[in-house]
Structure 1
Amino acid sequence: MQSINHNGIAGLSLKARPGTSSILQQSIERLASGLRINGAKDDAAGLAIANRMGANINADSVISRGLDDAISLAQTAESSLGSISSMLIRAKGLAIQSVNDTLSESDRASIQNEFATILAGINSISEGTEIFGLYPLATDSPELQPALLGNVAPVSTKFPVASKDYSFSSGIVPLAYIPAGSTNIAITINSLGADDDIQLFTRDGKHLAGTPINGSDPDFTWVSKGITDSASADTNLLTEANGFKSDAAYDDSMLISGGAAWDINGSESVSYKGMNIAYSGDGDRYEDSTNGGFNDGSNGSNLLERVTIDNVKEDLLVVVVGNGAFTANMTWGNLETPTEQPAEPPKKSIPYQVVTSANFGDKIETITLDTTPADTKTLGINEARLDTVQSAQSAMGALDSALAKVDGYRSQYGAAINRFESSKSVLAQQKIATQSAQSRIQDADYALETSKMLKAQILQESQNAVLKIANQAPQNLLALLRG
């Protein structure tokens, strides 16, 4: 049956066109994006699987960068531990040298000075090794350090144990300061054969006890340091870095320099602002008319000097001036803790957690690097000394233990580096495999999509031709009417 109101052939052609157009549009979209799945409508399950794989691939990349950081941290710490190991080996050599009975006290004092420098160097490396804001070698239980006056620490840091001898190098820099509120203080020094003299100052420059700077017979130790009068004392000694106030001026009006005869318990005393101060006098000072009244300490008979204070009303500075080395000890009734504390918090090592796996839906896997504190206190050598045969013998065992601990730390970091590098290798292979699997799911097959596109284009052109023919069918009815 033929009719004008309905064209069946055209209807069939129009019915097929949307499907062909959809296939053509989908093929063009996939070829343009390179993806088989451009939305959930293409493959909902495949989209979910591909997204999970994408999350794992991204996580592996982040984890790999974190492992690089962990390797850098371990390498930095291990390198610093290598330096500490070398310093401990040198310290062990000094300890062996100090045990030798052929050494004099001054020889051992020199060895102790080098040993003290090594300990300070170990602490410096421990606190100064920093990466990513972390301090892997710092102590894991820091103690808040007391405030300094300029560069001068309180006596508690220089004399942590009462009545114990500690070795120091001479100079004109203040040894320590005595905090206000301390009571029954007694500081004793031994010049070890050279001329080292103890001095006591207030922070505003008053010289309360010690050897004279001005006058007809200034002390030789001051002169040897270029301090010959009040003006040179103001310039070379009374500085803010040395703990003095900014407006300090030298004043020896209250100075006690010792009585007519040396007395370790005090040959001369003075009272200042409620503080009763006694000074033994300079035991190795002597009069030598051939040397202009100066002494060089070579002929002295008493190597000890002592300053005592019954009640410290204000912060006092202790200075030992000389040209060699000396030992010192301190006793106290009450040793006040400075009220001010430094603004910068102490360095502290903490465990370092490294992520090794974080796959989608799984629990995060981590490795924890334990703390490796390499400060002298943790290593057990902070109180080691080499100034006597007995102390040097004890120090040798402590140094051996410290070296063993450092070697253990280095082994720990070496094993961690190897493990991190292995984890990186596994992640790299895992990432390649996951990317390949993800590609098979979501990437477009260009050969297949191209053939689909060509097929759709051919069908669409054929449908256009058929529709054109179908549209010509009603015209055949005119021929019937004309006939």
Structure 2
Amino acid sequence: MRIQHNIMALNSQRQLGINNTNISKSLEKLSSGYRINRAGDDAAGLAISEKMRAQIKGLETATDNANDAISLIQTAEGGLQEVHSMLNRMTELATKSANGTYDDDVDRQAIQDEFDALNDEIDRIADSTNFNGIKLLDGTLNNASTATVTVGTGANTFRVSVGKDAAGKKITIGTDDSKAGNTINASVDSAGELKIVLGTKDNASTYSAKQIEDAVKNAVQKAVDDGTLTNKDLANSLLSFKAEGQTISYVADDTSQAGTAEPTSAALAGAAALKLQIGDTNDGYNQLNLTINDMKAASLGVRAISVDKLDDATGAMKTIKDAINTVSSQRGRLGALQNRLEHTINNLGVTTENITAAESRIRDVDMAKEMMTFTKNSVLQQSAQAMLAQANQQPQSVLQLLQ
């Protein structure tokens, strides 16, 4: 028998230490509710579950983003609903004024006054409707490429816009007294650069923004048909060309305007759409661009309408109905986008639930199973303590041999 080293006591002590460590881990798991509290518990499981946690946070935030987007859309749609109401009232006023029973100077002037007031209110709603300071209906979110172009003299300035894919393209416009007056020569090259030449030869010439707009669209369509312009997205953006501004007039033999004016160029600058983050990654399919057209009276075509004359009122009826259709189309697009976002939210909710369940299976502790482990380790701990006490008593038996 040896007394220098009590191997039985050392073994019991080692086992007691192991049991104490196991009980400590069980208590930690039971008190925290997690199976993995540190990388040492399950390194691979920790790495996977942390990625899942990040994904869950992203999905939850994307859900909040989509809900905010729906609130924004509802705000914009609320403003457009009132614009619709005013356009319907304009239709009523124009129809009244188109009736021959009204007097121009009194009755139709009163109708015109109300018509002008409605135009002002449409502009006020377009300028003031906002969500968290973001203007919604003033054209800020039209996602178009715009430029301001001067023709001849500084007074002849108008604004043009095209689709977003034409951003950075150049538009050049000028006059040429070698070309017949009241003629517009528009062309587009394979790169999408626009060139417009207004004829000013011999006679007085007047060009409206609408005439220039039609000429450009025809030129773009021709370039598409003959294969000059092959980029489909660029072509569609150019086909949405829109001109706004005053009528451009050139008087024959007026040297201040007639003659060949040096062409002026302007680069089309892209306006920003509202980018919505509706997913947990920066992939394109998790981002959505929200666009809302300019809903001001001028953009709707009703700002310049006159109803104080019978003939003007008759022509105004169609213009107002076109404006109603424009607003209806915009509201329809917003409604479709809102429905899409609602489906997005549902999908995000289901995905969040499933990823959370997967993360729970990896990270969370099974309380019943861990209680079984804790009970086992607790019994082993007590047994090890008892055996350590017994092992410590064993060397005392040597005293029997010394008597």
Determine if contact 1:139/1:378 at 8 Å carries over to the other structure: no
Partner of 2:163: none
CA shift in 2, pair 1:139/1:7, >3 Å? closer
1:206-355 alignment runs, 5 A limit: 351-355=273-277
- Tell whether the 8 Å contact from 1:358 to 1:364 is kept in structure 2 after alignment: no
**Cα distance change, pair 104–401 in 1 and its aligned pair in 2 (3 A):** same
How far 1:471 moved relative to its partner?
Answer: 1.1
What is the aligned partner in structure 2 of residue 380 from structure 1?
301
* SS across alignment from 2:331: helix
Q: CA deviation at 1:108?
A: 1.4
Specify which structure has the higher proportion of helix.
2
String of CA shifts for 1:217-271, please: whole Å, max 9, x gaps: xxxxxxxxxxxxxxxxxxxxxxxxxxxxxxxxxxxxxxxxxxxxxxxxxxxxxxx
- Answer yes or no: is the 8 Å Cα contact 2:52–2:355 preserved in 1: yes
Shift of 1:363: 6.1
Which residue is 1:15 aligned to? 14
Tell me what 1:75 maps to: 74
Are 2:33 and 1:111 equivalent residues in the alignment?
A: no
More moved, 362-371 vs 381-390: 362-371
- Would the aligned equivalents of 1:136 and 1:350 in 2 still touch at CA under 8 Å? no
In the TM superposition, what is the alpha-carbon distance from 1:130 to its structure 2 partner?
A: 1.5
**SS at 2:100's partner residue?**
coil
1:443 aligns with 2:378: no
Normalised by the size of structure 1, how large is the TM-score?
Answer: 0.55
Alignment gaps of 5+ in structure 2: 149-154, 159-253, 257-270
Pairwise CA distance, 1:96: 1.7
Equivalent of 1:399, from 320, 337, 351?
320
Letter in 1 for 2:93: L
- The amino acid of 1:40's aligned partner reads A
SS for the counterpart of 2:294 is: coil
* Residue number in structure 2 paired with 1:98: 97
Answer with 1 or 2: which has the greater Rg.
1
Which residue does 1:51 correspond to in 2? 50
3-state secondary structure, aligned to 2:276: strand
Pairwise CA distance, 1:143: 11
Q: CA RMSD in A?
A: 2.4
- Output the TM-score relative to the length of structure 2: 0.65
Counterpart of 2:129? Answer: 129
Deviation at 1:111, TM superposition (A): 1.2
- Aligned residue in 1 for 2:278: 356
Match of 1:36 in 2: 35
The residue identity in structure 1 corresponding to 2:310 is V
Distance 1:73 1:129 in 2: 10
Matched, 1:463 2:402: no
| Amino acid in structure 1 at the alignment position of 2:277 | V
How big is the shift at 1:350? Answer: 5.1
Shift of 1:103: 2.1
2-side partners of 1:6 and 1:459: how far apart? 24
**Which sections of structure 1, spanning at least 5 residues, go unmatched?**
145-155, 161-332, 335-348
- Check whether the contact 2:292–2:330 (CA below 8 A) recurs between aligned residues: no
Moved more, 432-441 or 6-15: 6-15
Q: Percent identity?
A: 34
State whether residues 305 and 316 of structure 2, in contact with CA within 8 Å, keep that contact through their aligned partners in structure 1: yes
Q: Distance in 2 between matches of 1:143 and 1:383?
A: 22
Aligned to 2:340: 419
